[in-house]
Amino acid sequence: MRKMLLGLGLVLVSALVQAGDVLSLKAGHPQTYVVKKGDTLWAISGMFLEDPWLWPELWYYNPQVENPHLIYPGDILKLRWIDGRPVLVKDSGEVKLTPQMRISDLDDAIPAIPLDVVAPFLTRSRIVSQAELEAAPYVLAGRNGNIVAGAGDYVLGRGQFPDGSSFGVYRQGQVYVDPLTKEVLGVEAKDIGTAELRSTEGDVSTLMLNRSTEEIRRADRFLPLERRELVARFEPKAPDTEAKGFIIAVEGGVTQIGSMDVVTLNLGERNGLQAGDVMAIFTTGVLVRDPVTNEQIKAPDVRSGVLMVFRTFEKASYALVLKAEQALKVGDRVTPP
């Protein structure tokens, strides 16, 4: 789809910064930058700002523009000063900022965050209650009695299938527990395939597997496919909540967490979190021995990264690590930046 966009220029203006936020230019920032294919607004903001999560304050816009955050490969961004404030403008070859006509393909627009990193989690992975998973129908066996199956095979499912013909196939993963209260926050329902309901007789149904990421086994569960709209553009922002929590799991079960890794937080919708909320990550301070008193002293926690929440559940959420200044780990603390 092609749309005609009116562009006035992207302006860095600290007047939009909320009380307590400091919009600081990064040392050694460029004066001019040419937007390239593959860039993100987050990465571009990181060239100019100490805290790229403040990027919404970077893009001031004409309210008549339908989507002010759209910039494209080839656009030239220049840093200027207007009324004593730093201003980032999209260069048009003229000093005077006037509305200009531009026709561009929306698919070419520079995104805020790389969507391909989080897309699988937006459409398939989920956190459910133990009761919900245990009540779901399950794989009884392959149609011919076999114990494993894959895409293209028929399987028998037992249980009450809700209305609908398409189901996801899930295997129980981690049980998420709050590290402080020990409350069970939910169970990881690991996506391993999709199936189409073909027939039902009593409490036994026949389904065809049309996708599988690994072998489908007996006792794997069927859940209705979620009808979720894929959010094409994430806009990182400061959260509206002061809730603090912890990283309680990492996708893939690795021990060290880095940039672009997906983690699970012990905070969710009940804590006021929303998709796009940015949180600072603090690594637990090390224990050191006082050479004089011989006491064990805990060093202060160290701010070591930034993450963005991209999918929320009632008691937990998925987040993407946007910046890791050192190796992160499960148990690291998260707070509003």
Q: Say which amino acid occupies 71.
A: I
User: Is residue 99's pLDDT more than 60?
Assistant: no
pLDDT top residue among 113 and 90:
90
Would you tell me how many other CB atoms lie within 10 Å of the CB of residue 304?
A: 19
Q: pLDDT tens digits for 304-321?
A: 999 989 889 999 999 989
pTM: 0.71
The answer to whether residues 251 and 263 touch, using CB atoms and an 8 Å cutoff, is yes
- Rg of the chain in Å (alpha carbons): 24
Q: What is the 3-state secondary structure (H, E, C) of the chain?
A: CEEEEEECCCECCHHHCCCCCCCCECCCCCCEEECCCCCCHHHHHHHHECCHHHHHHHCECCCCCCCCCCCCCCCEEEEEEECCEEEEEECCCCCCCCCEEEEEEHHHCCCCCCHHHHHHHHHCCEEECHHHHHHCCEEEEECCCCCEECCCCEEEEECCCCCCCEEEEEEEEEEEECCCCCCEEEEEEEEEEEEEEEEEECCEEEEEEEEECCCEECCCEEEECCCCCCCCCCCCECCCCCCCEEEEEECCCCCCECCCCEEEECCCHHHCCCCCEEEEEEECCCEEECCCCCCEEECCCEEEEEEEEEEECCCCEEEEEEEECCCECCCCEEECC
Q: Which residues pair with 4 in a beta bridge?
A: 103
Ordered domains of the chain (ranges, CATH)? 2-112 (no CATH), 124-224 (2.40.10), 245-335 (2.40.10.410)
Look over the chain and give the mean of its residue pLDDT values, rounded to a whole number.
78
- Model confidence over 153-177: pLDDT tens digits? 999 999 999 888 899 999 999 999 9
How much is the pLDDT for 119? 65
User: CA triplet 301, 306, 310: central angle to 5 degrees?
Assistant: 130
Instruction: Choose the weakest-confidence range: 166-170, 228-232, 330-334.
Output: 228-232
Write down the pLDDT at residue 110.
Answer: 57
- How far are the Cα atoms of 61, 84, 106, 159, 308 from residue 66, in angstroms, in the given order? 10, 28, 12, 49, 25
d(CA 207, CA 217): 14
Contact 72, 40 (CB under 8 A): no
Whole-number pLDDT of residue 35: 84
Q: Which residue has the tokens 């990283």?
A: 247
In this predicted structure, the answer to whether residue 140 has a pLDDT above a threshold of 50 is: yes
Q: For 281-306, write each residue's pLDDT tens digit.
A: 999 888 899 999 999 998 898 999 99
In this prediction, residue 319 carries a pLDDT of 92
Tell me, what's the pLDDT at 228?
Answer: 57
Q: Which residues contact 181 (CB under 8 A, 6 or more apart)?
A: none
Structure tokens at 64: 């008549």
Residue count of the chain: 337
pLDDT tens for 10-42 read 333 333 333 334 457 888 888 888 888 777 777
Distance from chain centroid for Cα 116 = 10
